[in-house]
Structure 1
Amino acid sequence: MTDNQNIDALSRAPGRDEVLPFAVEALDVRGRVVTLNDSLNDILARHQYPKSVSKLLAQAAALTIMLAASVKLEGRLTLQAQSDGAVSLLVVDIRAEGGYRATAKFDESRVAEFDASGETEVGALLGKGTLAMTIEQGVYTNRYQGFVALDGGSLEEAAHEYFLRSEQIPTRIRLAVSEVLTRTDGEAASHAWQASGMMVQFLPQSSERLAQRDLPGDGVVDETYLAGLPDEDDAWNEVRALIDTVADHELVDPELSSQRLLYRLFHESGVRVFDPESVEEGCSCAPEKVSNVLEQLSPEALAESITDKGDIDVKCDFCGRQYTFDPKEFAKPS
């Protein structure tokens, strides 16, 4: 645990993938800062997506990992976006043990049109649809699902809407992704991605300071509803104002550590950072899991899956691993 006195001695290690928890007790705020480097690059290198899709998936990965860290995950958390946009599906899931993985499905021609348009907000690739968060904490707990509509805005905006509707905890989120190009004399330039995010939540001990108006019965959060909300707490107003000063380049600056950034924001109130939690990428696919899925298929569906070589080939959408099975393994007794 680190406080204002020795925070200046800390620096951001290159290639580190971590979540840094912090607290500003004077303002009743807790939060997380996530930094993704090597793990993110391993995932994106396998997929070879267009840059705009890679950037969107990187944002989703940072958001998912922050969400998982905020709920003390013991099982699995999945963030899934489905839309009518150029990117029709976006999935990131993270397990308490085993790391995170990510994948996307998209229309190549529509993504190319987006890239040619010069649009910089990659959230627009999602169009209209639904963003869902699913938490599975274990065998003996109920699965939780929360949903929010997508309307072509940023993932940050969708996340804020989710917390307003589902959690009703004052929350502020920032996401940033950068491309890093390095060149050594006589060698071709190397390319890497970095994603960072910051999430702060207002969690006062007094429940009265969290008082919020119930959501309308029709679920429509319009100007009338917003006008009737209680006045926000002064401490939370201060935090929001500070978070809104954070520029994208500060979140992804390799020379500016997460600790230094937090100190810049909250040194007057006093910020406390805790031990960072490492983040790894990893896929949970396995031959027995794929086999179990194939066993549930009808004979007709299995027959349609047989290749010209007489095998059944299955490729994991997350890690690209290829599995080959003999159709005879799944023959149903007559």
Structure 2
Amino acid sequence: MAEEEKQPRLDADDCVTPFQVEALDVRGRVVRLGSVLDGVLAHHTYPAAVKRLIGEAVVLATLLGSSLKFEGRFILQTHTDGPVDMLVVDFVTPDKIRAYARFDREAVEAAVLANAASPAALLGKGHLAMTIDQGLSVNRYQGVVALTGEGLEEAAHEYFRQSEQIPTRVRLAVGEELQAGGGSSWRAGGLLAQFLPAEAGRAAQADFHPGDAPEGTELHQVDDDEAWAEAQALAGTIEDVELVDKTLTSDRLLFRLFHERGVRVFEPQLLKAQCSCSRERVAGVLKSFTREEQKEMVQDDGRITVTCEFCGRTYGFAAEEVFDQLDS
């Protein structure tokens, strides 16, 4: 019999839903995004292929950042050699999301024409950094993993193998929904499942590849625990359309996956697209520069103008305001 934690029903969109499958020692979260993703994308004229990549990054950052139990932010950032050479997603606990992508428009258009504009291809190779920031009083934690041309989903798996050493399965999906009157909207979804048994030995994983070990060296192998093998197999049955289907709520999706084992679905956290920039924050950043650096920022009209790359909002300061900050 399946076991469901009774909670108020929400629409399928714009929330992160924790769950637990006790019989398989699995915990995880499901993210569903509709209007929030459109809100994140609305500030820039991104090509459709770039929007799809940003959607994946936003879902991944939300899956990871929503696990934080304190006030702070989770920052996902890529630096790569692909047409989209930088992605930044900023998740502020418990519910605020913003994102930005830097890309070569001509290279993206060429990739689309060559039918080579998958999210993994647009990223290319480089690295993915994931940073947890609890504020000025606590040192930042940062984990870095290589991007080898296989995309964000595989990079997330590699991160958990290397840094967290927690057996983890991640699924990401993004879809474009055409509107009857023209135009389109975007939807995205994802699932993260982790194997967290009471006996740590059951979650053992194979050692990393020995690299330059002599030829013929026997590689370390560890068979997956039966419960985790079953959980991975079930998570592997999820189709992209299920993760972006507006009529399929997270609790129904989880019931569909794990009903034979019993799944507890906990209260969802609603999400929103919201930039954290403000005039005060920008002024604080300007204050961190030296007087000479500030002078170089002054335009012909005697003002310093700063535009937020996330939301496009522009902040203007008289040069005297900024210089007074530095003197105070």
TM-score in terms of structure 2 length = 0.90
Identify which of 194, 200, 205 aligns with 1:201.
194
Q: Write the deviation string for residues 147-193 of structure 1: whole angstroms up to 9, x where unpaired.
A: 0011222210111111111111000000000111121xxxx224110
- Determine helix, strand or coil for the equivalent of 1:62: helix
Distance 1:302 1:98, change over 3 A: farther
Distance 1:152 1:78, change over 3 A: same
Cα displacement (A) at 1:141: 3.6
Distance 1:299 1:8, change over 3 A: closer
Q: Equivalents in 1 of 2:197, 2:7: separation in Å?
A: 30
Q: Equivalents in 1 of 2:249, 2:15: separation in Å?
A: 12
RMSD between superposed Cα atoms in Å: 2.6
Aligned to 1:155: 152
Distance 1:173 1:36, change over 3 A: same
Farther off after superposition, 195-204 or 143-152: 143-152
Q: Does 1:178 align with 2:175?
A: yes
Aligned to 1:13: 11
Q: Equivalents in 2 of 1:253, 1:330: separation in Å?
A: 49
Distance 1:92 1:231, change over 3 A: same
- Determine helix, strand or coil for the equivalent of 1:19: strand
Q: Equivalents in 1 of 2:138, 2:210: separation in Å?
A: 28
Q: Equivalents in 2 of 1:301, 1:268: separation in Å?
A: 63
Q: Equivalents in 2 of 1:316, 1:123: separation in Å?
A: 27
| Matched-pair contact (CA < 8 Å) for 2:279–2:315 | yes
Distance 1:301 1:257, change over 3 A: same
Counterpart AA for 2:302: G
- Determine helix, strand or coil for the equivalent of 2:242: helix
Q: Does 1:247 align with 2:239?
A: yes
Cα displacement (A) at 1:51: 0.8
Cα displacement (A) at 1:254: 1.7
Q: Does 1:92 align with 2:98?
A: no
Cα displacement (A) at 1:5: 5.9
Cα displacement (A) at 1:224: 8.5
Cα displacement (A) at 1:110: 0.8
Distance 1:262 1:13, change over 3 A: same
Identity of aligned pairs, percent?
A: 47
Cα displacement (A) at 1:47: 1.4
Q: Does 1:55 align with 2:55?
A: no
Cα displacement (A) at 1:275: 0.7
Counterpart AA for 1:308: D
Counterpart AA for 1:192: S
- Determine helix, strand or coil for the equivalent of 1:13: coil
Distance 1:137 1:295, change over 3 A: closer
Q: Mind listing any 5+ residue stretches in structure 1 that lack a counterpart?
A: none
Cα displacement (A) at 1:287: 1.3
Aligned to 2:252: 260
Counterpart AA for 2:252: R
| Matched-pair contact (CA < 8 Å) for 2:170–2:193 | yes
Cα displacement (A) at 1:12: 6.2
- Determine helix, strand or coil for the equivalent of 1:259: helix
Q: Equivalents in 2 of 1:226, 1:99: separation in Å?
A: 47
Aligned to 1:119: 116
Identify which of 22, 32, 36 aligns with 1:35.
32
Q: Write the deviation string for residues 175-226 of structure 1: whole angstroms up to 9, x where unpaired.
A: 000111121xxxx2241101100000000011121223454676x89x9899
| Matched-pair contact (CA < 8 Å) for 2:2–2:260 | no
Aligned to 2:126: 129
Q: Write the deviation string for residues 79-137 of structure 1: whole angstroms up to 9, x where unpaired.
A: 00011111111000111156111101111111111111113521211111110000123
Q: Write the deviation string for residues 219-268 of structure 1: whole angstroms up to 9, x where unpaired.
A: x89x9899413211011111111111111111111222222221121111
| Matched-pair contact (CA < 8 Å) for 1:76–1:95 | yes
Aligned to 1:80: 77
Q: Equivalents in 2 of 1:152, 1:100: separation in Å?
A: 26
Aligned to 1:272: 264
| Matched-pair contact (CA < 8 Å) for 2:95–2:271 | no
Distance 1:5 1:233, change over 3 A: closer
Q: Does 1:24 align with 2:21?
A: yes
| Matched-pair contact (CA < 8 Å) for 1:98–1:283 | no
Farther off after superposition, 293-302 or 93-102: 293-302
Aligned to 1:306: 298
Distance 1:9 1:76, change over 3 A: closer
Q: Equivalents in 2 of 1:226, 1:167: separation in Å?
A: 25
Aligned to 2:283: 291
Aligned to 1:229: 221
Distance 1:9 1:203, change over 3 A: closer
Q: Does 1:317 align with 2:314?
A: no
Q: Equivalents in 2 of 1:251, 1:27: separation in Å?
A: 22
Q: Equivalents in 1 of 2:158, 2:216: separation in Å?
A: 16
| Matched-pair contact (CA < 8 Å) for 1:98–1:284 | no
TM-score in terms of structure 1 length = 0.89
Q: Mind listing any 5+ residue stretches in structure 2 that lack a counterpart?
A: none
